[in-house]
A and B are shown apart, each in its own frame.
Chain A
Amino acid sequence: EIVMTQSPVTLSVSPGERATLSCRASQSVGSNLAWYQQKPGQAPRLLIFSASTRATGIPARFSGSGSGTEFTLTISSLQSEDFALYYCLQYNNWPPWTFGQGTKVEIK
């Protein structure tokens, strides 16, 4: 089983600032890495797939990078609606599909 580790657990950022979230895989997942945003009481929403491709309707301020075992989600200028939980998911080696434990982006 591939273990996904996200850091930091909590990220405190001021509106308008840049946020950088990390996700590390215990072994290579190629580019088969997705990022999700989840707000309280809502289902996860797909932001990024194939490590760097934005899903339909996702604003350009969200960008993903990386391959192999190290991945990054960057939010270039945080808006109020971006404060949420973010999860990475590897879909390269399955079963099982494995998520990171999440990073909470909170208002500083």
Chain B
Amino acid sequence: EVQLVESGGGLIQPGGSLRLSCAASGLSVSINCMTWVRQAPGKGLEWVSVIYGGGTTYYADSVKGRFTISRDNSKNTLYLEMNTLRVDDTAVYYCARAPYISSPFDFWGQGSLVTVSS
């Protein structure tokens, strides 16, 4: 059974940093396309970042230069390092898997809430 479990969210002041983790079981983060999608309170879904099996990464313009996606294959865990956080980064952050390039995101974690506020 595939499980994705996010952690690391919380309350952080504007300008601060936070690292989200997504522990995977039932699939390997090293060979799958793993992504982060966020959802601001009461809003829709916004794609944030992706890392392919080969290591290629992409970012949404709204987070480029501030967020870094990575993985630890030995821990089978996906990460999202978030720096210079802004109030509008407040959202539930979901990790999800796409089985291959140009496929939809089929398995999702339960989400981790990040609140950026002073």
Contact = CB atoms under 8 A, between A and B. Distances in A.
Contact of B106 (A42, A46, A87, A97): A46
Interface string A29-57: 00010101010001111100100000100
Contact of A34 (B46, B47, B104, B111): B104
Given A32-B102, A91-B103, A95-B59, A44 B47 contact: no
A98 B61 CA distance: 12
Interface residues of A, number: 24
Interface in A54-107: 55, 87, 89, 91-92, 94-102
Contacts of A49: 103-104, 106
Q: Give the interface SS of chain A, mostly helix, strand, loop or mixed.
A: loop
Contacts, number: 58
B4 to A, nearest CB: 9
B110 interface: yes
A98 B47 contact: yes
B18 to A, nearest CB: 20
B44 A97 contact: no
A101 B104 contact: no
B108 A95 contact: no
Interface in B10-46: 35, 44-46
Interface of A: 32, 34, 36, 38, 42-46, 49, 55, 87, 89, 91-92, 94-102
Q: Which 7 A-B pairs have the closest CB atoms?
A: A34-B104, A43-B108, A95-B58, A97-B47, A99-B45, A49-B104, A101-B44
9 contacts: A42-B110, A44-B45, A87-B44, A94-B50, A95-B47, A95-B50, A96-B60, A99-B45, A102-B44
